[in-house]
Structure 1
Amino acid sequence: MRRFLYKCLAGILLVITPVTVIADEPSFITVGTGDITGVYYPVGGAICRLLNKELDRHGIRCVVESTPGSAYNLKALRRGSLDLAIVQSDWLFHATRGSSIYTAAGADTDLRSLLTLHTEDFTIVVRSDSGIDSLEDLRGKRVNLGDPGSGQRNTMDLVLSELGWSYSDLEDVGELQASEMPLALCSGQIDAFIYYVGHPNTSVGEATTFCDSRLIPLPQTLIKRFSEKYPFYRAGEIKGGLYRGNPSDIDTFQLSAVLVANKKLPNNIASELLRVINENFEEFRNMHPALNALNKRSVFTRVGHFAPVHPAVEQYPEQ
């Protein structure tokens, strides 16, 4: 009888043990970012490093994925292939409303904001001998606009529309990745490139280091028109002295990068992420120069401007 009871107990343990192991395994989350030379990738890495430092406490392992950028990230969130993503606030706005490039797909009502991150500036970099001194001078030039469907390409489409231009007004429209732009500019393959990015940035730094290149300002009339017409754009400037040969501030318009998730992201994961950022905020700010200007008020309280907030944010004291 005793032998029979031992066998039964052993059988029960065999059934229970695998369940216990699974419960102790970490939860994996993936953060979609952008090109490795941009700002999204290192910012996503900063978020993951802070989370992973406390893996033993919360059991969440964070992984960064390099992607083509905002438009891709929003689609990936919709189909469930990313857990979190960093995106431009303009395309987040359109995705939640089913407008602009998301008209056919319809509104994604499952998107939820978590954090407002760094600002991003509409940036035009030209080779100094290209004869380009203003936005109007891009007409008839070889300009890299980036991947079709990318956030910055769609923004440039808006700029062209405001100018009354089409792609035919440019000699050539480039579709190079961000990491390819500096060499293409300095070798004479292109005359200029457009980049919507936080500063300082690796690709812009390389372009101004490898050859004589300049950032050119946008006209105030265009900045004012964009700021008044679109709720996600505002006047801004790229600080002078960040790049070789560019000592002056550059007028432009800017927007915010936002960390977003699908509403199905478990509340405990979202809450731990917010806690980690809050408790290690100074360390987070110093993990990339583009984050240096952040303050808790803007990071936690401006997050619901373009998409509904995740329930974890609503419960958070800073909100």
Structure 2
Amino acid sequence: MRKWFMLACAFALAFVVTGVQAPEAQAKTQFVTIGTGGLTGVYYPTGGAIARMVNRKRAEYGIRCTVESTGGSIFNANAISSGDLEFGIVQSDLQYLAINGKGDWAKRGPQKKLRAVFALHPETVTIVAADDANINGPEDLKGKTVNIGNPGSGQRTNAMDLFDILGITLDDLNAQGVKPAEAPSLLQDGRIDAFFYTVGHPSGAIKEATAGKRKVHIVPVTGIDELYKKYPYYAPSVVPKAFYPNSSNTEDVKGFGVKATLMTSSDVSDDVVYAITKEVFENFEEFKKLHPAYQVMTKEGMLQGLTAPIHPGALKYYKEAGLMK
């Protein structure tokens, strides 16, 4: 009888531990997913690095973070809006268009639930030009043969935005519309004088362009405050000279571009967004080692180029860290 009594007590204790406490413990774990991009791009390992930082403190935060390879920015923005993703990496220009119901979102209207967390690396609107073409600034593109990118491409849109500010029209130059991968050989062969490419640096295509017999350089773009006012999704950027030792540039090159940004939804809790923001910023030097493109990142710069409202959870950390008032 005593044996059965002891077994009953043991069973009851097991029920208390596994039947009551386990579900309660499970309820405390929040599962979140970061949408990134293709497996071979920069977005996917970026999401992985963020997830690892958060998961190291799973016991403290009660968050389990996973990463999903996706079709990229537009997919991520839509999935966040629909609740299929909690976080996603989105280009800042597409962030702006989504939150304002423009571009791909013109028919669906503003995506009001989207919230910004922080910006990542710059994707610079880069102008690569042959030295013998005497192009020292974007104004010098007039009268030259310039590849502005294939129709529908990001760099073509970026080039047209810059031309708009500078008062340049396509009638002022011999505009070409080929894909970025073809531009380096065209430049080296003398068939074009310059090309636009919106890209994170270092870029294999630009390394190729600077490695040929024809000397080339990256054109600085400055004095464009009007561009930032008219198109708020652009932000200043810098291309380090060290990335392209074969170029004829003698110093880092100032320019402009969009940024990769981490976005979330207003439906995601403040605690979750706060934890992710805190882990990235307090492990900033570790994070910067992820990719050469991140070498130019600064904590202050991670708050630039955000056009969606900042999520309250991220805002809480920025105020605590003295990054925002």
**Structure-2-length-normalised TM-score:** 0.69
Per the alignment, residue 36 of structure 1 pairs with 40
Give how far 1:31 is off: 3.1
Give how far 1:66 is off: 4.6
Change (3 A) 1:96 1:246: same
- Counterpart contact for 1:285–1:292, Cα < 8 Å: yes
Change (3 A) 1:102 1:19: same
Change (3 A) 1:138 1:85: farther
Unaligned regions of 5+ residues in structure 1, if any? Answer: none
Amino acid at match of 1:268: D
Amino acid at match of 1:36: T
How many percent identity over aligned positions? Answer: 30
Amino acid at match of 1:296: K
Superposed counterparts of 1:154-193, under 5 Å: 154-159=157-162, 163-165=168-170, 170-174=175-179, 181=181, 184-185=182-183
Superposed counterparts of 1:233-312, under 5 Å: 233-248=234-249, 249-299=252-302, 302=303, 305-312=306-313
Q: Does 1:96 align with 2:99?
A: yes
- Counterpart contact for 1:131–1:137, Cα < 8 Å: no
Change (3 A) 1:254 1:172: closer
Per the alignment, residue 217 of structure 1 pairs with 219
Change (3 A) 1:144 1:64: farther
Change (3 A) 1:270 1:160: same
Aligned residue for 2:243, secondary structure, equals: coil
Rounded Cα–Cα distance in structure 2 between residues aligned with 1:275 and 1:219: 34
- Counterpart contact for 1:88–1:151, Cα < 8 Å: no
Rounded Cα–Cα distance in structure 2 between residues aligned with 1:48 and 1:26: 13
Per the alignment, residue 27 of structure 1 pairs with 31
Per the alignment, residue 46 of structure 1 pairs with 49
Give how far 1:237 is off: 4.2
Per the alignment, residue 62 of structure 1 pairs with 65
Deviations 1:220-277 (A, max 9, x none): 57x4542343233355542334214214244532344321111122333212212212
Amino acid at match of 1:197: V
Aligned residue for 1:75, secondary structure, equals: helix
Deviations 1:40-60 (A, max 9, x none): 444334323322333454453
Give how far 1:112 is off: 0.9
Amino acid at match of 2:169: G
Rounded Cα–Cα distance in structure 2 between residues aligned with 1:209 and 1:64: 36
Give how far 1:312 is off: 0.9
- Counterpart contact for 2:210–2:246, Cα < 8 Å: yes
Aligned residue for 2:96, secondary structure, equals: helix
Rounded Cα–Cα distance in structure 1 between residues aligned with 2:236 and 2:294: 19
Rounded Cα–Cα distance in structure 2 between residues aligned with 1:132 and 1:42: 39
Q: Find the partner of 2:197 among 195, 211, 214.
A: 195
Deviations 1:154-210 (A, max 9, x none): 4345346664339xx645443x7xxxx2xx445659967643233334553455458
Amino acid at match of 2:101: G
Rounded Cα–Cα distance in structure 2 between residues aligned with 1:272 and 1:265: 12
When Rg is computed on C-alpha atoms for both structures, the one with the higher figure is: 2
Change (3 A) 1:99 1:28: closer
Amino acid at match of 1:164: T
Rounded Cα–Cα distance in structure 1 between residues aligned with 2:291 and 2:301: 17
Aligned length: 302
Q: Does 1:71 align with 2:69?
A: no
Rounded Cα–Cα distance in structure 1 between residues aligned with 2:124 and 2:144: 18
Give how far 1:110 is off: 0.4
Give how far 1:111 is off: 0.8
Unaligned regions of 5+ residues in structure 2, if any? Answer: none
Give how far 1:97 is off: 2.0
- Counterpart contact for 1:135–1:219, Cα < 8 Å: no
